[in-house]
Structure 1
Amino acid sequence: MKVLVVDDMVSMRHVMLHMLRSLGHTDIDEAADGLQALGLLNKKSYDLLITDYHMPKIDGRQLLKSIRSNKDLVDLPVLMVSCEDEKSRIKAIIACDVTDFIVKPFSLQTLEIKIKKIEKQFPPKISII
């Protein structure tokens, strides 16, 4: 599974990368914000995008809207991660067609459960070389 992790905090990206690797995911790219993520999404194909909600330049909600309005990316599973715990904001994010949502802080087990659920719903693409 090819994963793109987007978070403006380097430490959080590193934690996420470490968690993903411990779950057996090694094909991972990272971006510091939504703008950089869009650049990578236009160059490479991913099976999952894990993005923070609060970021500079293009935040997670704007990134999600861009993905859902792009015919080539519309079906990309997006797991949104945020410290946001206000129910009305979470509902607004879910209404933007996010695949799933995790509130920070979260455990390795929570991440594993969410990824397995997404993998069942959206099996990774097989690339033939």
Structure 2
Amino acid sequence: MDKSEIIKKVAPCSLMCHTCSAYNDGIICASAKTLLKYLEGIKEFYEVHMPDAVESYNNFEGVLSIYAGASCSGCRSTEHNGCSIEGCFLLECTKNHGVDFCGECNEFPCKKNAGNF
């Protein structure tokens, strides 16, 4: 795999995009969609046979729906819709330092990103 392919799949912080819960083409989003499909009709079953479990199921389905609705196309994409990590500054920082990844920066590790690594 050449560096351009790596850059598409790995965030500046070195997070593998496909493992991120916000990534719309990732394993978490795909798994949530698959599980929601397999669970079709289960709520109705619970309503009849396990009414005490309906509230828990609704909460579970709600969380799955959030993961299934992931909207990020990767940090470096023009459609990344914001980082899933609140306050993330690493994409801007790597651009400002002319590197693709934090670990390539001459200042790494720095005080600014100490809490991230």
Could you state the TM-score of these two structures normalised by the residue count of structure 1?
0.24
Which is greater in Rg? Answer: 2
Structure with higher strand content = 1
Structure with higher helix content = 2
Could you state the TM-score of these two structures normalised by the residue count of structure 2?
0.26
